[in-house]
Amino acid sequence: MPRVTVIGTGYLGLTHAVCLADLGHEVMAIDVDAEKIAMAANGEAPFFEPGLEPLLRKNLDAGRLRFSLSFAEAGAFGEVHFLCVGTPEDESGRADLSAVYAAAEALAPHLTSPCLIVGKSTVPVGTARQVMTRMRAIAPAGHEVDLAWNPEFLREGFAVQDSLAPDRIVLGVTSDSAEATLRAVYRGPLEAGSPLLLMDLETAELVKVAANAFLATKISFINAMAEVCEQSGADVIPLAEALGYDARIGRRFLSPGLGYGGGCLPKDIRGFRATAADLGVSSLESLLATVDEINLGRRERVVGLAREAAGGVLAGCRVAVLGVAFKPDSDDVRDSPSLAVCDRLVAEGAVVSVHDPVAMPSAARKRPGLRYAPSVSDAAEGADLVLHLTEWSDYRAIDPAALARVVARRVIIDARCCLDAALWRGAGWTVRVLGRPQPAGFHDHEDP
């Protein structure tokens, strides 16, 4: 089996490295971040991902997984090199490819021959060929350097299972030997039934952004329906359920709420929009602009409802925020809708107290000025308003009668549309749910 390196040990790269080791490969993972490498080498995942840390330790102990800061060591070690570095949004909304090119160019002089570079980062169409040209120009003369693109579809919160048993393996290849090498790397999942899709480099690059564009469109579609429901008195929950029974539509990604966030969808949608503009495909450009606009509009809607709940002025209003991760089962707060709402509340003078089961340390690094509460009841102590902004299962288990005893006013906005509103109303709460009819405004359950 080929020896493998993984360049970049973030959410994607560390999971990929650990799972390849678990599939039996000899793996070296490298990064430019010395702290991350020290933690990973010590068996600690630098971020929260269910099931990852035990698997990291298991494979370190088995001697199949090692970590390094050295591109020279990576070049000497591996025959297959996965590029998993970040591609964040730049000021123009495009994908910033500087880490991809920096990693490729740092590795190139140390490559052995023959070797295969495999891009996994999400990139604009056309990037793979640029990477290949740059690496071949730097690699030692006469070396055979092949390149493939293998976009990643893992979901944070399910990253380990998605990596060990992917729902599809997409390979953009230009040679039979690249295909054969990657079939060997993914032999385990392929034998277990993961479908393999072979295509050219450009199509493989596009599959990833097209998939994310479709998912974001589906989310924004149901959130636009939520807006229609709010204006018309209809109820988006049974609407979504009824739509979802249509097998052509399906229920998944049809949950109304505060919209998408995180390190992928928002930047990938904006990046793809910029690509569409560059390619002159104005219809896609305007579709994705609208998807983004609807998504950001839900954050505004929650701030507007909070203001309404506070009687028109948020200044001095004590707000308890439940959930700051962009989604449950993750500590990722990149482009977190909840943090964006918190920023707006603070800007309008609200006193915000935040709780999250795991994401408070990562949120505190980004927003050190917020108050972080060790428990839900601590966050809600004396609150005039509670906002449910990330749908952790812990929050569905809250006893509304118990929480009623610590707040100043029993008012909650469920921006994720998944609390049991009848239960909360039964405990004396005024409950406002995005996209659902509201019985009688915010003041129907005044405190005794």
Point out the residues that are catalytic.
264
Instruction: Check residue 138 for interaction with ligand NAD (CB under 6 A).
Output: no
| Phi, psi (rounded to 5 degrees) for 252 | -70, 145
Q: What is the DSSP string of 207-248?
A: HHHHHHHHHHHHHHHHHHHHHHHHHHT--HHHHHHHHHTSTT
Instruction: Check residue 8 for interaction with ligand NAD (CB under 6 A).
Output: yes
| C-beta of residue 202 within 8 angstroms of C-beta of residue 172 | yes
CA pair distance 105, 97, nearest whole angstrom: 12
Task: Select from 4, 17, 19, 103 the one that contacts ligand NAD (CB under 6 A).
Answer: 103
Tell me how far, at minimum, the Cβ of 147 lies from ligand NAD, in Å: 16
Question: Residue 173: in which H helix or E strand, if any?
Answer: none
Residues forming beta bridges with residue 148, ordered by sequence position: 118
Of the pair 159, 306, the CB lying nearest ligand NAD is at 159
Instruction: Check residue 97 for interaction with ligand NAD (CB under 6 A).
Output: no
Question: CA quadruple 193, 199, 205, 208: dihedral positive or negative?
Answer: negative
| Phi, psi (rounded to 5 degrees) for 21 | -60, -40
Instruction: Check residue 400 for interaction with ligand NAD (CB under 6 A).
Output: no
Task: Select from 119, 263, 328, 357 the one that contacts ligand NAD (CB under 6 A).
Answer: 263
Tell me how far, at minimum, the Cβ of 161 lies from ligand NAD, in Å: 13
Instruction: Check residue 285 for interaction with ligand NAD (CB under 6 A).
Output: no
Task: Select from 99, 249, 281, 284 the one that contacts ligand NAD (CB under 6 A).
Answer: 99
**Residue 258: CB atoms within 10 Å:** 29
Tell me how far, at minimum, the Cβ of 294 lies from ligand NAD, in Å: 22
Of the candidate spans 3-11, 226-234, 296-304, 378-386, the one that interacts with ligand NAD by CB under 6 A turns out to be 3-11
Instruction: Check residue 31 for interaction with ligand NAD (CB under 6 A).
Output: yes
Q: What is the DSSP string of 281-343?
A: -HHHHHHHHHHHHHHHHHHHHHHHHHHHHTTT--TT-EEEEE--SSSTT----TT-HHHHHHH
Of the candidate spans 30-38, 181-189, 318-326, 365-373, the one that interacts with ligand NAD by CB under 6 A turns out to be 30-38
C-alpha dist (Å) from residue 88 to 93, 267, 271: 9, 7, 9
Of the pair 154, 419, the CB lying nearest ligand NAD is at 154
CA pair distance 321, 412, nearest whole angstrom: 10
Tokens, residue 288: 């994705």
Tell me how far, at minimum, the Cβ of 344 lies from ligand NAD, in Å: 25
Of the pair 121, 353, the CB lying nearest ligand NAD is at 121
Task: Select from 85, 265, 325, 417 the one that contacts ligand NAD (CB under 6 A).
Answer: 85
Query: Which chain residues interact with ligand NAD by CB under 6 A?
Result: 7-13, 31-33, 36, 84-87, 99, 102-103, 121-122, 152, 154, 156, 263-264
